Chains A and B, each alone.
Chain A
């Protein structure tokens, strides 16, 4: 059986990829430290619990991304002639569906405690069996302030890397990070509201947080589905077509021995594969030329990989 050739990133992209991997490890470290801080301070607050669980969900994109890096390096083999680049997208899809479900669960549970008029009690701060003469709410706010900053900075750092590497998982992660501060700010408002004597403040904040989780879930799910569905290559920021089809057609059409040309491309994770349909002038060494044309087309963009030139008699216009 004929399997695909393995793909190697250009060196400068490889450097960016290493940076992205490092950022994701740093992300995991901060998420874990934030979750620990929240857990130790949360007490009985609904909003704190929700904010903590949301922070826990923020582990999913970096973990999926890092797993993807491991699988992606495997070369295509007899069992997987098209390579392994998509295995991880299934995990990403499942994780996105889980986030969506979780958002729904959070929304119903916080609306439920609003309906039941549950009044949250926050007394002195307790750590296991030790008590401290300070209101527990202040400690929660301190933990939330800590949880606010790292994602904000990491999200900003990841965005340009996501675009340069054409990594949708990384992009979704960066966006989730960027939106995380809203969660923390809502939870802070909820705790302050309790301090002012508004029992509902906490549940309302939790409901707002759950809406944010729902939004994350929908965004991740759409990202995963698009990437799995062989969509036309598009910009990961704007969703506009990259126009690689035209670039290839224009480049090849200037060749004297080519009468007509058309390309059909698909996204395979961070790479772009596809077919080029070519009408050759008569009496050409078709096989030889076809290989030359593949090389010419693949040089047009770093993402282009495993293109096929298909000689055809005529292109329907």
Chain B
């Protein structure tokens, strides 16, 4: 039986539209609120920190210590950016992230965090097998829908998700 629906016309139109779309963008996927471009212009990433040793150990007004803080510093270095560290309570930080006043938020967050629908998050870059389920999956929160920034950070995390980097210090901080 012959399918008479104009599939070919539809696919051609779709392919043309796709070409048009791809040629018009220098970033794919793009940020709706231009977080990455703004950070490059500013010369700095705005990162919120929430105390959660050994992941994040705030040290205001200086740069915080902890494994996640170091990870973010390396990420910013790779992009040739400084980091503006912002200190506040977790609720204020989530609010700031939702309002695009922050680019990223660190605090040893896991895949079980309660703001899934409100903010963006990376894939789990480290899985702590000593914790059960989602609690052991560590990730970094990002501004909602800022997909260019998210993809950039995840590309960095692909090369830095070596468990040996985190495990010894984690054992040291909380012996079983």
Contacts and interface: CB of A to CB of B under 8 A. Distances in A.
Interface of A: 44, 118-124, 126, 129, 131, 133, 135, 137, 152-153, 156-157, 181, 185, 188, 192, 194-199
B128 interface: no
Contacts of A126: 123
B145 A133 contact: no
A188 B146 CA distance: 19
A304 B10 CA distance: 43
Given A121-B142, A192-B21, A129 B158 contact: no
* Chain A contact residues, majority secondary structure: mixed
A108 B13 CA distance: 31
B30 A195 contact: yes
Nearest to A198: B32
A152 B5 contact: yes
Contact of B31 (A123, A124, A133, A197): A197
Contact of A197 (B7, B32, B118, B158): B32
Interface stretch (B40-48, B54-62, B149-157): B149-157
Given A118-B117, A153-B3, A123 B28 contact: no
A120 B116 CA distance: 11
A120 B21 contact: no
Given A123-B147, A124-B151, A124-B154, A197 B30 contact: yes
A196 B142 CA distance: 18
Nearest first, the 6 A-B pairs at minimum CB distance are A119-B145, A197-B30, A121-B120, A119-B144, A195-B29, A199-B32
Interface in B66-122: 116-122
Contacts of B118: 118
Given A129-B127, A152-B3, A156-B4, A196 B145 contact: no
7 contacts: A119-B143, A195-B30, A196-B30, A197-B27, A197-B148, A199-B32, A199-B145
A131 B154 contact: yes
B9 interface: no
A44 B117 CA distance: 9
B122 A123 contact: yes
B30 to A, nearest CB: 3
B124 interface: yes
A118 B5 contact: no
| Count class of interface residues, chain B | 35 or more
Nearest to A192: B21
B145 A120 contact: yes
A152 B21 CA distance: 26
* Chain B contact residues, majority secondary structure: loop
A194 B7 contact: no
A182 to B, nearest CB: 11
Contacts of B17: 192
B40 to A, nearest CB: 16
Nearest to B116: A44
Given A118-B117, A152-B5, A129 B124 contact: yes
A137 B25 CA distance: 16
Contact of B29 (A131, A133, A194): A194
Given A135-B29, A197-B29, 11 more contacts: A118-B144, A119-B33, A121-B146, A137-B29, A156-B3, A192-B18, A195-B29, A196-B25, A196-B29, A197-B148, A198-B32
B155 A133 contact: yes
A188 B14 contact: yes
A119 B148 CA distance: 13
A17 B7 CA distance: 29
Contacts of A185: 10, 14
B12 to A, nearest CB: 13
A157 B124 contact: no
A8 B142 CA distance: 66
Nearest to A156: B3
A152 B50 CA distance: 52
Contacts of B145: 118-121, 194, 199
Contacts of B21: 192, 195-196
Contact of B5 (A44, A156, A157, A188): A156
A176 B29 CA distance: 33
Interface string B123-145: 11001000000000100001111
Which of B28, B29, B33, B144 gathers most chain A CB within 10 Å? B29
Contacts of B3: 152-153, 156
Contacts of B148: 197
Given A135-B28, A156-B5, A122 B147 contact: yes
